[in-house]
Amino acid sequence: MIPAVSSTIFALRSQGPATLRQPDARLIEVRTASWRDALRRVRARVFEDDTALIVGPLAPGIASGLDKPEGIQQTGRQLKGDEVVRVRPEVIPFILVALGAGVVVALACALFRVPWPKAAWPGAVVAIVFSGYFLYFFRDPERRPPADPDAVVAGADGVILRISDVREDRHLKADCVRISIFLSLFDVHVNRAPIGGRSRFLGYVPGKHFFTFQEKSSEFNQHNAILIEGDRTRCLVYQIVGPVARRVVYWPDHDKAVPLKAGDRIGMMKFGSRLDMYFPKADIAVTAKEGDTVTAGETVVARIGQGGRG
């Protein structure tokens, strides 16, 4: 019997803490069914001037068996726990609607004299398909923001629709760069703080429901306005709804400023929408481009302290 092959990844970085996301990390993948074999293969690659972060299903055995020369840190961690995707509790009413729709379809089939076992099948398909989509839509995966204090991260998953130079006189009262992210019906819709600082809810602004890929949606559509004031710059966030999404939610306290770190969850937009981020133009340099696909809380879209367009 051939044993199953498992995979363990080592991220090594000389003279510093090791993480899988460091651009200068050296990645070693060992595919083997035995942690002892993986241990033997890796011993030759870990030196006294390196630190090692060990991940994967074989990590605990390797971390305990690897000789620990002076200056080497070892951490055993299972990937499975990090890859678990949470689902927002807001999905529950939508699941009930999906189940109700399935019952209605089944009863409608029965009214047309379809035998009950056969009538139940269309209802079950409707309930399963819609429930599955809602569970997928309300997923809330963990994100690992970059440690770089100068990094500005995307506030939403999606595609950068537009990067514009605009004048913002209502809140920031400055010449600004606006980064607009379009969210499709299949993107994660949980929003995250682009920068660290004190986040203040400015209010809900009623408006139109133009398609959010249209430029005029930034100005006329209903939205939530959020201001995050960091030590070195400020960020104005608009959670903008479209013709399908009719609800946007800001989760922190509405009545007082709340401290946040870059990448923290701040709210959610439902069923296709747009997120606009405004920054004083003199404070940042944009590193992303129009058309880039971005991940909320992780993708760096600009850098602080290097004013102007990158």
Report whether pLDDT(87) > 60: yes
* Between 1 and 195, the higher pLDDT residue: 195
Bridge pairing between strands 223-229 and 234-241: antiparallel
The mean per-residue pLDDT over the stretch 1-8 comes to: 42
Element (H, E) at 136: helix 116-137
pLDDT at 199: 97
Segment 196-205 shows an average pLDDT of 95
Q: What is the pLDDT of residues 155-169, one digit of tens each?
A: 999 999 999 999 999
Is the domain covering 151-309 a CATH 2.70.70.10 domain? yes
pLDDT of 227: 97
273 tagged catalytic: yes
Comparison of pLDDT for 75 and 206, the residue scoring more:
206
Q: What is the pTM of this model?
A: 0.70
Measure the CA–CA gap between 31 and 38, rounded to whole angstroms. Answer: 8
pLDDT given for residue 210 in this prediction: 85
One DSSP character per residue, 235-283 reads EEEEEEE-SS---EEE-S-SSS-EEE-TT-EEEEE-SSEEEEEEEETTT
Provide the 8-state DSSP code for 27: E
Given 131, 199, 218, 273, the catalytic residue: 273
3-state secondary structure of 203: strand
Distance CA 185, CA 135 (A): 13
